[in-house]
Amino acid sequence: MIKELEYPFTLAKIRDLNVGQRVTISGRLFTGRDRFHKYLFDGGKCPVDLKDGAIYHAGPVAIRREGVWVIRVAGPTTSMREEPYMSRIIEQHRVRVIIGKGGMGEMTRKACVKYGCVYLQAIGGAAGLLAESIKEVHGVHLLAEFGAAEALWDLTVKGFSAVVTIDASGKSLHRRIERSSKKALEKILK
Amino acid sequence: MKNGHWEKNLFQLIRRTSVDLPSDVEAVIRRALKKERKGSHAWWVLNAILENVALSRKNDTPICQDTGSLTFYFGVPVGFDTNAIVAHTRAAVAKATRQGYLRQNTIDSVSGASYDTNIGSASPVFIFQQQARKKVDVRLIMKGGGSENMGSQYSLPDVGIHADRDLEGVRRCILDAVWNAQGNGCAPGILGVCIGGDRATGYKHSKEQFLRRLADKSRVKALARLEEKIMKDVFKLGIGPMGLGGKTTLLGIKIDSLSRVPASYFVTISYMCWAFRRRGVLLGPEGGVHRWLY
Ligand code: SF4
């Protein structure tokens, strides 16, 4: 029932995912949030190859222990803030997996259909639990420019747990729940 | 006031608040889990939340990476030196930040610069009240930004949601706010609601409701009934943990009222996420721990 998804996230693997499906991700994962998205959107050069990759909307708390980076906690941040930039980044870099919380808007949903990408919802606040699945920190980019929380962290994860809430056919669990709860609300207030 | 034990114990209060949930909150999450269908998204999320709580307790790490805004509520005896305790509290906050119990989470709103100790003009927030007793009652609430963004204030009547100036109108405001929030602000949440007051006191009082235990019912019968009714209503919305569907959209709601002027009728709603970090302590005259609260 839980689908295992391994890097590289090829188009075939992505098209195979359906809204509502739970997945565990293994392999390479890049974090990025507000400043990184704005930077790419403005044409900044990406320090890693995002093709068939995953961007995780998170600002981890990282510390250096004996010269090695350790991620202490890394829960998802609100994805909606990246809505103005996300679709162009999907188009230009062929990112196939976006992970965050709260879902994204119409532009991103359409880009998911057009270029083959999915949005996964991670559990907001479960910062320690998600950090447990980080097995290795390969490197960090744009650290001096953006600071630790906004930098691009190049990670290897194992068994990172999430659920597909926007799939490559454009179905969105967020939209579905929004509509069904609206109907329920109207019924309650009648 | 000599430093004595003040700073040390205020630091302990911050640490405890950051790394562990109050037992009443954890118990309600556990109960909610039983109501969700095994294997559903809601069940999965609630399980993960409980696992995360156990893990942060064990590892002594923050429950959530957003350690939020810090509000200290002080109940102090007559003649107490509040300036001194403000200084001790700030020192404790700076220390908790250095030791990683608090994230660097305070920003200059104009320059965008981050303060490395979390000491800013509105951080932490201090609220003092004089009390007849000799002990100092300190309570801390840490509230994440994602949940704070889900707060809202309605001015009644509100034609958009058909809310008049009565408790039915209040109910409509609350349900509208819950629907708007969906899973954001990290559902399942807890609502603090204030009917009346002005814009500023409304928000302040709505947040003070978070000091109440989850089992607490309003002493005003009509409000206790409203609290109960909203919980039943929300159960039917189907928004669920993280907005992925399910029964558990709220863990609790606490409603209270303040007097108002005839021209205004505000309904103010503060949203607290499941990472409901609330702790308290009673301190003696030298700052020694008399008893931990919650
Ligand atoms: S809303 Fe609460 S649980 Fe969610 S990210 Fe913010 S502090 Fe954490």
Instruction: Going residue by residue through chain B, which has 294 residues, state the pLDDT in tens, using 9 for 90 and above.
Output: 666 799 999 999 999 999 999 999 999 999 999 999 999 999 999 999 999 999 999 999 999 988 999 999 999 999 999 999 999 999 999 999 988 899 888 988 998 788 889 999 999 999 999 999 999 999 999 999 999 999 999 999 999 999 999 999 999 999 999 999 999 999 999 999 999 999 999 999 999 999 999 999 999 999 999 999 999 999 999 999 999 999 999 999 999 999 999 999 999 999 999 999 999 999 998 999 999 999
B153 and B214 together in one domain? yes
| DSSP code for B213 | -
Q: Is B186 in the pocket of ligand 1 (CB under 6 A)?
A: yes
Torsion (CA) A50, A52, A55, A56 in degrees, nearest 10 = -140
B218 and B259 together in one domain? yes
Closest CA to B189 of B5, B31, B28: B28
Q: Supply the mean pLDDT for chain A.
A: 93
B140 and B155 together in one domain? no
Over the stretch A53-71, which tens digit does the pLDDT of each residue have?
Answer: 999 999 887 778 888 888 8
B219 and B257 together in one domain? yes
Q: Which residues pair with A164 in a beta bridge?
A: A120
Which residues have C-beta within 8 Å of that of residue B110, sequence separation ≥ 6? none
Which ranges of B194-275 would DSSP assign to H, the alpha helix? Answer: 199-208, 221-235
Q: Is B63 in the pocket of ligand 1 (CB under 6 A)?
A: no
pLDDT score recorded for residue B1:
63
d(CA A48, CA A45) in angstroms, rounded, equals 9
Catalytic residue selected from A37, A93, A138, A141:
A37
CB–CB contact B49 A123 (8 Å): yes
Helix (H, G, I), strand (E, B) or coil at B123: strand
C-alpha Rg value of chain A to the nearest Å = 16
Over the stretch A78-132, which tens digit does the pLDDT of each residue have?
Answer: 999 999 999 999 999 999 999 999 999 999 999 999 999 999 999 988 888 888 8
- Above 80 in pLDDT, residue A72? no
Domains and CATH numbers, chain A: 2-189 (3.20.130.10)
B219 and B93 together in one domain? no
- Rounded to a whole number of angstroms, the distance from the CA of B152 to the nearest CA of chain A is 18
Helix (H) or strand (E) holding B278: strand B277-283
- Number of the ligand 1 atom closest to the C-alpha atom of B143: 7
B99 and B117 together in one domain? yes
B13 and B133 together in one domain? yes
B287 and B265 together in one domain? no
Decide if B46 is inside a domain.
Answer: no
d(CA B77, CA B222) in angstroms, rounded, equals 34
Decide if B28 is inside a domain.
Answer: no
Show residues of chain B in contact with A3, CB under 8 Å. none
Helix (H, G, I), strand (E, B) or coil at B104: coil
How many independent structural domains does chain B possess? 2
* Residue of chain A with shortest Cα separation from B246: A177
Show residues of chain A in contact with B183, CB under 8 Å. 101-102, 124, 174, 177
ipTM: 0.91
Decide if B24 is inside a domain.
Answer: no
Helix (H, G, I), strand (E, B) or coil at A58: strand
B126 and B173 together in one domain? no
Decide if B36 is inside a domain.
Answer: no
On the question of a cis peptide bond just before residue A8, with omega within 30 degrees of 0, the verdict is yes
Q: Which residues of A touch B (CB under 8 A)?
A: 1, 20, 22, 59-61, 63, 72-75, 77-78, 80, 101-103, 121, 123-129, 132, 147, 161, 163, 165, 173-174, 177-178, 180-182, 184-185, 187-189
- Number of the ligand 1 atom closest to the C-alpha atom of B67: 7
Residue B170 is part of which domain span? 146-272
- Rounded to a whole number of angstroms, the distance from the CA of A133 to the nearest CA of chain B is 12
B212 and B286 together in one domain? no
CB–CB contact B44 A178 (8 Å): no
| Type of residue numbered B134 | K
Distance B144 CA to ligand 1 centre (A): 5
B189 and B81 together in one domain? no
pLDDT score recorded for residue B2:
61
B110 and B158 together in one domain? no
**Neighbour tally for A98: CB within 10 Å:** 25
Helix (H, G, I), strand (E, B) or coil at B214: coil
Record the tokens describing residue A145, joined without a space.
């420019």
CATH number for B99: 3.30.360
B161-178 per-residue burial string, b: 16 or more CB within 10 A, e: under 16: bebeeeeebbbbbbbbbb
| Type of residue numbered B103 | R
Looking at chain A, the whole-number percentage of residues with pLDDT higher than 90 is: 80
| DSSP code for B243 | G
pLDDT score recorded for residue B3:
64
Annotated catalytic residue A37? yes
pLDDT score recorded for residue A62:
79
A4: Cα separation from own chain's centroid: 16
- Smallest Cβ distance to A102: which of B66, B184, B275? B184
Decide if B186 is inside a domain.
Answer: yes
